[in-house]
Structures are given as C-alpha cells and as structure tokens.
Amino acid sequence: MKRIVIFASGSGTNAENIIEFFHNRDNASVIHVLTNNPRAKVIERCNKLNISCLCFNKTAFIDPNSVLKILIMQDPDLIVLAGFLWKIPGLFLKAFENKIINLHPALLPKYGGKGMYGKHVHEAVISNSESESGITIHYVNEHYDEGAIIFQAKCAVDPNDSPKLLAQKIHQLEMKHFPHVIASILEGDG
C-alpha cells in the first residue's frame, strides 16, 4: 500500500478530492495532511473525512526534529503539495528526493515563482492577454515552480474572463487531473 501525505494551506478542496479518490483503494491512501494555517478549511475537511491533520508553524517547519522527523517516521511514498504556499526546505528535498510534487495553477514556466499563486496568477494571465492557461503538476526542487514538469492540462482564456472565472476553469482541471496523475506516479514507482 502506497502512502500519501498532503500539505495544504487553504480551503482544501484539492486535498479532499485526493483523499476521496484514494479512499477504499487497495494500492494507495492518504495517511496524513499537514497545514501551516490554523484557520485553513482543510482542517475541517480532514475531520469530516476522518484523516489525521497536523498544524505547524514556521519554526517547526524548518526544525529538522519536528515536521521533517514526523514525515520520516511516516515514510510516505509521495508528498503532495495541494495549495501549500511555503517553500520546501532543502532537508525535505534531500530526505524525499523526487517524492514531492506540486500543483501550480498556470502553464509553467510562465507565471511561476514566489508570490505567484491563486488570484495573482490568474490576474497576471489575463492582464497579459494570454489565450490559454491551465495547470502544471511538477516535482519540487529548491526553487519555486522550477522542478521537472510531470503533467500539464490547458484551458482557453476568453477575452471576457475575470480572474474568478479563470480560477473556476483551472479548478475544474485540478479536480479532474490531479488524483489521476498522483495515481500514475505511484504506479510507476514500482
């Protein structure tokens, strides 16, 4: 049984979608969710779904004897960043090389980097009159949104799209593709 740990900072819709996708599967399951936001809605979603959720602060995140130690003890096959906004420390990357993936709400390498998340990405895409946007699922490395790309899916950006409307289109792509890509990665892991 493959073990998935999710990091999330916000509403948790992607985390919930992933948890539900792997529920009752015999090859993989979400074993834990971690969040850096004590007010994140993902906590309520985890409680409802009976999934363990741990909240941590910046000090615990960078302390090798705290969050990293917990992760090492849980021995996940894959760590999934689903709306998690902090940069992953180098010690995590060494301990879980090629086992941490992220979902980004744009077609990387465009519109990535520090501060490019949520509505900021969609506003930039629209203000630059892009004709398409989408999602990118990629491995995490030491730089924001620069890890090797695993998967991309596209959607049209219409001239009258607002950032909110574009966010809805992107969210549909996330819900459709993210769990399947995670499953493919785990199946390819041998």
CATH code where residue 62 lies = 3.40.50.170
What does the pLDDT average to over 57-62?
96
- Structure token pair of residue 1: 């049984």
- The active-site residue out of 23, 32, 104, 177 is 104
Number of domains in the chain: 1
**Could you tell me the pTM of the whole model?**
0.96
pLDDT tens figures, 34-58: 999 999 999 999 999 999 999 999 9
pLDDT tens figures, 167-178: 999 999 999 999
Residue 17 CB coordination number (10 Å): 18
Residue 114 counted as domain residue:
no
pLDDT of residue 94: 97
What does the pLDDT average to over 146-152?
97
pLDDT of residue 188: 87
**Is residue 6 within 8 Å of residue 35, measured between CB atoms?**
no
Query: Using 50, 70 and 90 to split pLDDT, how confident is the model at 189?
Result: low
Active site includes 23?
no
Residue 7 counted as domain residue:
yes
Residue 52 counted as domain residue:
yes
Domain of 62 in residue numbering reads as 2-107+137-153+171-188
Residue 11 counted as domain residue:
yes
Q: What is the mean pLDDT of the chain?
A: 96
